[in-house]
Amino acid sequence: MKWLVLLGLVAFSECIVKIPLRRVKTMRKTLSGKNMLNNFLKEDPYRLSQISFRGSNLTIHPLRNIRDIFYVGNITIGTPPQEFQVIFDTGSSDLWVPSIDCNSTSCATHVRFRHLQSSTFRPTNKTFRIIYGSGRMNGVIAYDTVRIGDLVSTDQPFGLSVEEYGFAHKRFDGILGLNYWNLSWSKAMPIFDKLKNEGAISEPVFAFYLSKDKREGSVVMFGGVDHRYYKGELKWVPLIQAVDWSVHVDRITMNREVIACSEGCAALVDTGSSNIQGPGRLIDNIQRIIGATPRGSKYYVSCSAVNILPSIIFTINGVNYPVPPRAYILKDSRGHCYTTFKEKRVRRSTESWVLGEVFLRLYFSVFDRGNDRIGLARAV
């Protein structure tokens, strides 16, 4: 799984809707630069009102940095609207938020949906559960009005968790899945499919720009692409199958030596994951090559290694996508440096990887449902 706002950029047309994401990162990394967004945040850092500009659909929310892990954005559910912070996740297909009837510790630390306060709420008796890599939830399906900025989906099916495990210390309320419908645990129509089918967006695409350190402006955009978020041309990669956002990777190299994916492999492009994940034995080999040593649940290296280690290159559809050490090595709250490679726990007969935020901070990504492909380009 697993997520600031760019002020002053306007959409190319009224059909492009940009939804600001809040980057969850270290508190010590604060906004820099002299611009309107910083001034706004200094004046009212926790206000959740929307800002719009004449002639555009751009919706802006203030940025709040917590930990360098997730990107989250605001949506509302119900009438009158109740606001939630969710992860916009290409690795899952369900939308859910906590229910007021959930008494789990995880729910108690998050905003919970008060269904009795919504005049457009419609309950069902259908139950479901979802298992994630870092937690799980049990819930019920309901229907209500969901808003993502200026996009409105009436009578939208979504999940209400009645039990949650593993999310108590996570700084998000729920998850908004953007993967294909067939992967939905609840079997409810995902919000993107519903918006697409109803013609609420002009093109069946959405795109992510995930900002780098010391830059504000992460966004997810629906219905089109703003070319000012990337350099050069988008390189289109066909999906392996039109069932999820997985693409074929030719090989993974370092110093011109193949270190993984020697016979080709699959990789899920996942905005809901913080790391680059792969098979345990291959991840262990990468950790050994870069000199990382285990400590607890992470692998650590000398911070000076950022200046001397080589890039790890993912070759996708014949195009090289380097991930330099400054991207795959991060610093924790104590000032120690750790790697962002992690074992992929789901076992498959074929080699598979997950390209999470470590990769997506470097490369602007376009998810094209109309042509079942992903576009990648160097992020600005």
The question of whether 89 is a catalytic residue gets the answer: yes
pLDDT for residue 227: 87
Q: Which two tokens stand for residue 227?
A: 């070319």
DSSP string of 311-364, one letter each residue: PEEEEETTEEEEE-HHHHEEE-TTS-EEE-EEE--S--SS-EEEE-HHHHTTEE
Catalytic residue among 68, 250, 270, 368: 270
- pLDDT tens, residue by residue, 51-96: 332 333 433 332 333 355 778 889 999 999 999 999 999 999 999 9
What average pLDDT does the chain have? 83
C-alpha 360/C-alpha 340 separation (Å) is 13
C-alpha 74/C-alpha 94 separation (Å) is 16
pLDDT class for 347, splitting at 50, 70, 90? Answer: low
- Residues whose CB is less than 8 angstroms from the CB of residue 11 and which lie 6 or more positions away in sequence, other chains included: 17, 18, 56, 57, 58, 221, 224, 226
DSSP code of residue 39? H
Q: Which residue would you say has higher pLDDT here, 268 or 28?
A: 268
- Number of residues that this document lists for the chain: 380
pLDDT class for 16, splitting at 50, 70, 90? Answer: low
β-bridge partners, 305: none
pLDDT of 32 > 80? The answer is no
CB atoms under 10 Å from CB of 26, counted, come to: 16
Q: Which domains does the chain show, CATH number per domain?
A: 59-210 (2.40.70.10), 226-379 (2.40.70.10)
R_g of the chain computed on alpha carbons: 20
Angle 73-75-76 from CA coordinates, rounded to 5° = 155
Torsional sign, CA 289, 295, 300, 303: negative
Catalytic residue among 89, 144, 250, 368: 89
The question of whether 94 is a catalytic residue gets the answer: no
pTM, two decimal places: 0.85
DSSP string of 244-263, one letter each residue: SSEEEEEEEEETTEEEE-TT
Contact at 8 Å (CB) between 314 and 266? no
Alpha helices, H only, the chain: 36-43, 105-108, 191-197, 280-289, 325-328, 357-360
% of the chain at pLDDT higher than 70: 80
- pLDDT tens, residue by residue, 121-151: 999 999 999 998 778 999 999 999 999 988 8
Q: Which residue would you say has higher pLDDT here, 341 or 60?
A: 341
- pLDDT tens, residue by residue, 155-213: 999 999 999 998 887 889 999 999 999 999 999 999 999 999 998 888 889 999 888 76
Alpha helices, H only, 7-63: 36-43
pLDDT for residue 40: 37
Q: Which residue would you say has higher pLDDT here, 244 or 22?
A: 244
What would the mean pLDDT of 268-274 be, rounded to a whole number? Answer: 93
Q: Which long-range contacts (CB under 8 A, 24 or more apart) does 211-217 make?
A: 211/4, 211/23, 211/361, 212/361, 212/379, 213/25, 213/29, 214/29, 214/32, 216/4, 216/5, 216/6, 216/7, 216/31, 216/33, 216/37, 216/38, 216/63, 217/4, 217/5, 217/6, 217/7, 217/9, 217/37
Coil, strand, or helix at residue 280?
helix
